[in-house]
Structure 1
Amino acid sequence: MSANLQRTPLAGTGGDFSSPVVSYPSYVGGQDVPGDRWVYVLDSGALMDDVFGSLTLKRKLERGEMIPDVLPASVVGRVARADRDTVQKSLEAASDAAARWARFPLEVRLDEMGALLHRSIADHAADIVDVLVQEGHPLALARWQVSGMLHGVSPETISFYRSQMVQEYPHGSRRLLVRRCADGVVCLNPPHNAPLSSAMLGATSLMAGNALVVRAPRSAPLGVMFAMREVVRPVLDKLGAPPGTLNVVCGEPAPMLAAWLKSPLVNDVLYFGDSDRGLDFQNRCVQAGKKPILELAGNDAVVVWKDADLELAAEALTESFFGSGQLCMVPNQVLVHPAVADELLHALVRHIGHIRPGLAREEDVLLSPVLRNEKFFDCLADAKGKGAEVVCGGHAMQADETRDAAGMFLEPTVVLVHGLDQAREVQAVRHETFFPLLPVIVPDPAPDAVLLEQFTAFVNSNAYGLRNSVWAQDPDVVAHFVEEIRQGGLLKVNDSHLGFLPFLPSHGGTGLTGGVFGEANYPILRTSHLQGVSIANGIRPRAAVFGT
């Protein structure tokens, strides 16, 4: 942990804890709310060294079965578990604050907050990276997440938000406004694989004038608490936001989501999760009168045309294996022109040789442990059983890359799928895999005009719709794909699939990715609603109605 991140002694558990760790109570209505039960956070390196021992220690601490005089160095923090009363108070505090915060001028909520939040993220970048690494994110990917946070509140992106939040048009003696108004109380349920960065994404809903309640997940609560309390809260305090504008509580998802749905105080729920549960939750939200904003699974497609820069395309495709594929926005399937398929595969295998496992804190590590790998091997067997060929990988391994069935890592694996007609019968093509397995689909040879239509139809028929990307040089081919690929929240051409950019969304999509209301996800826009306003002076109502 970097020197900038303060560690405070534990207190209030009945034991004499002399080992300092980061300790966060619930944060409700601008106040710390202590709890009598805690979630303990262990360093990811300790988990790799001894998974069973570390998880046993965590379980005993959380159950109160052991209260040591000194905590092991592997324990880096703890977060209070919110009880039912604390959860209810967080909703009440948000409801009390929402209307008052929404009255703050847009210049304050958006322009000033955006600039202050950008500066706060930059100032805390080293600490954010440190917390992410402790949670198990490889160092390079922790830095990538920080870059996304900065782009999300960059001056360019804030200027785009400004253009969308209010527009004014003179019309005779009238002023006509089209503006977005805050929905009210927004509740945020981040995912277990990237809770900190997802919470920071959701925090931009504050700029619309909403009040926010964030659930810090029990699987990784420390990063969410740190980001909300040390990065976002000081910005709100500096702006004079009312207490309750931001609230952060840790707890189990099911009872907290149920409380949010039941409460008449909640307007929107920003939900991250898998598609099956997410779509079910969408229906529950609608029945309860809440707006569901879903961030679910991705199954991103990459198209590689015959004139693509194959070296750059292969380099971009290795992003599929970053974090061992446990990121929703990595490439999940590749559709390659048959004329260059062999050359692309050779280049891809060569680039994969630089993707290595190891401790999260090591500079060049990009693979993360996969604690349960049986689904990987089931999916691989399914692909092979349906005619796919294993190009590389296919085994578990240790951190030193030695193949070992008991290893915590999986080799980056590429399978070759022949033909489009049956490709979607392969599980790894049909659904998000969430591990390092990349299917490369090679259609049967056909005229380019036919292949263009086949490629476009295949991408658009994907049930998911987060990101898609295309590698091609011919301007007419590029124009065809840009015009015809309308499925998904983001389309990138000849670019990193994962890289963040100003103006453009980092999340959001269609189909099984975003549900029936899915689209590119700018939380400031998704958690607000359009309203038209006419301000007249000296207008005769009858004349306005009948034109006389």
Structure 2
Amino acid sequence: MSSARTTLPASHFEDAGTDNPRGDSAGLLTYPSLIDGKSVPSDQWVYVVDSDALLEDAFASLTLKRKLESGRLDPENLPPGIVGRVARADRETVTQAIEAASRAVAEWTAFPLDVRLDQFGTLLRRRLAEKADRTIEILMREGHPLALARWQVSGALECFGPESLGFYRSQMVQEFRHRERRISVRRRPDGVVCLNPPQNAPLSSALLGVTSMMAGNALIVRAPRSAPLGVMYVLHEVVAPVLEEIGAPPGTLGVVCGDPAPMLTAWLDSPLVDDIMYFGSSEAGMRFQERCVAAGKKPILELAGNDAVVVWKDANLDFAAEALTESFYGSGQLCMIPNQVLAHPDIIDELASLLAEKAAAVRGGSVRDEDVLLTPVLRNEKFFACLDDALAAGAELVCGGHAMQADGTWDTAGIFLEPTVVLVRGMERAREVQAVRHETFFPLLPVIVAEPAPDGVLLDRFIDFVNSNPYGLRNSLWARDPEVVDRFVTRVTKGGLLKVNDSHIGFLPYLPTHGGTGLTGGVFGEANYPILRTSHIQGVSVSDGVRPSEAVFGAWNAMRGAGH
């Protein structure tokens, strides 16, 4: 495959005032901060390098970016390869965003649920669909392969689809009639919610956080410095106009870009912030959770995954192997992909053969190629250290194990990594292998071959292994036997989502896209519906003239009147 750069005209991002007016005179897509419904510029910018330029010469492209952001290069004479820039927010701008959000909450909370959930969600999905091609184009420019850009947009459309909106509504309020009273159990907003999305798929995570506004919260999003353009585009050009259309107060949504550490500190220090949604490593996330609790904030964590997939002896192995190759999407740098496989010993040879065959078809290259699923890995020493650890522990290399160029040629200086599968014989000591014990975040998939045992014993061991995983994002099963499926679904408690005979990473209506237990979600971890996680339950009773003294002993009197 050629790694030649695909060149688009400079006017491509200018939009001539149609899709958005953000292009400057040079055709550079430019986004300021969004504060209180207004654009807030900056004298410091974060620059976005075109993904094809990065593929052509990663070192030169990143050097160019660093020079621009440090002021060592004149931004008035931008060389080719820079496609966008985003304002870098200072502490004052971050504070303004918090204050604007705090002012907006009371008014926004008072909006009827029909407006801030049904109307907002329906209009938002419609506008996302209208802007889907444009969103995908920007994501590709930012480095997301076409297939993964479509995956992110697909997830957003499911998140705001009619089935999901109906489920959200069913959880937000339930109403009852009890004698002379109208009783309701409802969820109320926490207040100001701040969201720190990850670098690997920030757009889908930012849109996930948008559902928190349906509960009546105001939302502030930090666009990550490494990939801010897609987040800025969708929040400025899709979400903000819909909020304006339904009359939401301007501070309901704030969008800023900047360094994570000082921004997180500003959120923690502010008495106006109520919840913080944090994406990151488990180690950093657990420390941040402690800081949140100490500061009186609700921590909503999305951390590492290390998901397990069980492949039973009667599984459709062709489908199972296809789903397992999702482990290599984005070069393994997605939190919700398969990270380890537990395989029945009867089918391991056929499964390994199919997996190697399908892994060989997962390629790197230009993000515009329909078949490309690998992304560049600019520092690969941890991948090889992890692979060496597995092989030293007795694992067998099934396929992969090399750095390579975009055309698949092995090259120690290549910026892509081959999809790699290793066999780990035996469950008992499997977690001594680093690639099994922790999320690898590389295209490296360990397949654990279980010791022979009666099927009933083996299934119990599989379930115990899954439940003893200290992480817990998603877990999957491939099996046809209904009893096996039932035991798995009934007894697996780890994770925010279980998938059976299905894509591990595919999005579905009603179900959460994120959320988990243990080292994935922290001590408060669960399936993550932000509309629920950023709200709290409140009970309400409206009486029609009941005498208080009768109400105190209502259940007792009713029981005595029934003759009990």
TM-score by length of 1: 0.97
Match of 2:420 in 1: 413
Q: What's the CA shift for 1:503?
A: 0.4
Match of 1:134 in 2: 141
Match of 2:200 in 1: 193
Match of 2:6 in 1: none
Distance, in Å, in 2 between the alignment partners of 1:332 and 1:270 is 24
Match of 1:286 in 2: 293
Q: Where do 1:223-302 residues align within 5 Å?
A: 223-302=230-309
Distance, in Å, in 1 between the alignment partners of 2:175 and 2:280 is 38
State the AA in 2 paired with 1:357: G
Aligned counterpart in structure 1 of residue 475 of structure 2, from 461, 468, 474:
468
Deviations 1:66-89 (A, max 9, x none): 215432231111111111111100
Residue 109 (str. 1) matches residue 116 (str. 2): yes
State the AA in 1 paired with 2:461: Q
Residue 505 (str. 1) matches residue 512 (str. 2): yes
Would the aligned equivalents of 2:45 and 2:69 in 1 still touch at CA under 8 Å? yes
Distance, in Å, in 1 between the alignment partners of 2:324 and 2:27 is 43
Rate the CA distance shift 1:220–1:120 in 2: closer, same or farther, 3 A. Answer: same
Aligned counterpart in structure 1 of residue 171 of structure 2, from 161, 164, 182:
164
Q: What's the CA shift for 1:264?
A: 0.3
State the AA in 2 paired with 1:355: V
Aligned counterpart in structure 1 of residue 493 of structure 2, from 464, 467, 486:
486
State the AA in 2 paired with 1:133: M
State the AA in 1 paired with 2:397: V
Would the aligned equivalents of 1:6 and 1:22 in 2 still touch at CA under 8 Å? no
State the AA in 2 paired with 1:232: V
Would the aligned equivalents of 1:129 and 1:139 in 2 still touch at CA under 8 Å? yes
Q: Where do 1:309-320 residues align within 5 Å?
A: 309-320=316-327
Match of 2:550 in 1: 543
Deviations 1:512-540 (A, max 9, x none): 00000000000111000000111111111
Distance, in Å, in 2 between the alignment partners of 1:203 and 1:486 is 28
Would the aligned equivalents of 1:294 and 1:513 in 2 still touch at CA under 8 Å? yes
Distance, in Å, in 2 between the alignment partners of 1:28 and 1:451 is 56
Match of 1:442 in 2: 449
Deviations 1:157-215 (A, max 9, x none): 00000100000011110111000001100000011111111111111111000001111
Would the aligned equivalents of 2:22 and 2:31 in 1 still touch at CA under 8 Å? no
Distance, in Å, in 2 between the alignment partners of 1:501 and 1:103 is 31
Aligned counterpart in structure 2 of residue 33 of structure 1, from 23, 40, 48:
40
Aligned counterpart in structure 1 of residue 392 of structure 2, from 352, 376, 385:
385
Deviations 1:21-76 (A, max 9, x none): 11111110011111111111111111111112111211111122221543223111
Distance, in Å, in 2 between the alignment partners of 1:377 and 1:518 is 32
Distance, in Å, in 2 between the alignment partners of 1:81 and 1:357 is 32
Rate the CA distance shift 1:69–1:189 in 2: closer, same or farther, 3 A. Answer: closer
Distance, in Å, in 2 between the alignment partners of 1:141 and 1:56 is 26
Rate the CA distance shift 1:198–1:68 in 2: closer, same or farther, 3 A. Answer: closer
Deviations 1:297-345 (A, max 9, x none): 1000000000001111011111100111010000000001001111111
Q: Which runs of 5+ in 2 are unaligned?
A: 1-11, 558-564
State the AA in 1 paired with 2:522: G
Match of 1:530 in 2: 537
Would the aligned equivalents of 1:319 and 1:497 in 2 still touch at CA under 8 Å? yes
Match of 1:217 in 2: 224
Distance, in Å, in 2 between the alignment partners of 1:489 and 1:75 is 39
Distance, in Å, in 2 between the alignment partners of 1:49 and 1:7 is 30
Q: What's the CA shift for 1:123?
A: 0.6
Distance, in Å, in 1 between the alignment partners of 2:20 and 2:552 is 65
Report the secondary structure of 2:250's partner residue: coil
Match of 2:5 in 1: none
Please tell me the root mean square deviation across aligned C-alpha atoms, in Å: 1.1
Distance, in Å, in 2 between the alignment partners of 1:349 and 1:222 is 36
Distance, in Å, in 2 between the alignment partners of 1:271 and 1:99 is 24
State the AA in 1 paired with 2:81: S
Deviations 1:224-265 (A, max 9, x none): 111111110011000000010000011100000000000000
Q: Where do 1:349-368 residues align within 5 Å?
A: 349-368=356-375
Residue 153 (str. 1) matches residue 157 (str. 2): no
Q: Percent identity?
A: 68
Deviations 1:345-374 (A, max 9, x none): 111111112111101111110111111100
Residue 426 (str. 1) matches residue 433 (str. 2): yes
Would the aligned equivalents of 2:181 and 2:542 in 1 still touch at CA under 8 Å? yes
State the AA in 1 paired with 2:405: Q
Report the secondary structure of 2:93's partner residue: helix
Match of 2:562 in 1: none
Would the aligned equivalents of 2:152 and 2:203 in 1 still touch at CA under 8 Å? no
Q: Which aligned segments of 4 or more residues in structure 1 are displaced greater than 3 angstroms?
A: 1-10
Deviations 1:135-171 (A, max 9, x none): 1111011101111000001000000001000000111
Aligned counterpart in structure 2 of residue 57 of structure 1, from 64, 67, 90:
64
Distance, in Å, in 1 between the alignment partners of 2:346 and 2:88 is 57
Report the secondary structure of 2:77's partner residue: coil
Distance, in Å, in 2 between the alignment partners of 1:26 and 1:251 is 10
Aligned counterpart in structure 1 of residue 340 of structure 2, from 333, 337, 356:
333
Q: What's the CA shift for 1:219?
A: 1.0
Aligned counterpart in structure 1 of residue 328 of structure 2, from 293, 297, 321:
321
Report the secondary structure of 1:470's partner residue: strand
Give the paired residue count: 541
Distance, in Å, in 2 between the alignment partners of 1:425 and 1:347 is 26
Would the aligned equivalents of 1:508 and 1:521 in 2 still touch at CA under 8 Å? yes
Would the aligned equivalents of 1:7 and 1:20 in 2 still touch at CA under 8 Å? no
